[in-house]
Amino acid sequence: MLGLIIISLGILSRLIVHTPNLTPVLSMAFLGGMYLKGRQAVLVPLSLMIISDAIIGFYPGMLFVWGSIILISVLGLWLKEKKNYATILGGSLLSAVLFFMITNFGAYLSLYPHTLAGIEQCYILAIPFFRSTLISTVLYSLVFFAGFELISKRSDDAALSEKIHTN
């Protein structure tokens, strides 16, 4: 169920008009790694991207985007047992940086001269987009984490309460 919610909301966030890179997709990939079980932790965020890209249209460098989504999901899997606000903050910062470095390297390979000046120009021109990526990834990650933990605590409390009342 959580996987379908992530895919649906992620697709919707990419289809509605928004500031470039100001979406919850990276935080969904990171937290998907932390909260989804098994292969779903990687396949759900990747599916979100593949389906929304099929709707929006495929583009050069999308394999770099998809690869970064996989890597960010794996980061979430790796940090799964260390869920706290500091880990979420650090992981979301790292997720934004990974996405910036990987996807812009893909842009460099397909759009810029393969020189030191070309790679420098690519990363410099991408800085304004990084601001939105960083802000949205950190904010959405913290908000989603708080929400997931609140729901989890309430469902645990409800389950505990149910056990007490049935005994």
What are the CA-CA distances from residue 161 to residues 67, 147, 150, 153, 157 (Å)?
43, 21, 16, 12, 6
pTM > 0.85: yes or no: yes
Residue 118: per-residue pLDDT: 97
Average of pLDDT values for 137-149? 93
Task: Check if the beta carbon of residue 73 is closer than 8 Å to that of residue 46.
Answer: yes
- Mean pLDDT rounded to a whole number for the chain: 90
Diameter over CA atoms, the chain: 72
What is the tens place of the pLDDT at every residue in 94-132? 999 999 999 999 999 999 999 999 999 999 999 999 999
* Contacts (Cβ under 8 Å, ≥6 apart) of 163: none
Q: Domain containing 155: what range? A: 2-166
Q: How many domains, in total, are found in the chain?
A: 1
CATH number at residue 138: 1.10.1760
pLDDT at 160: 42
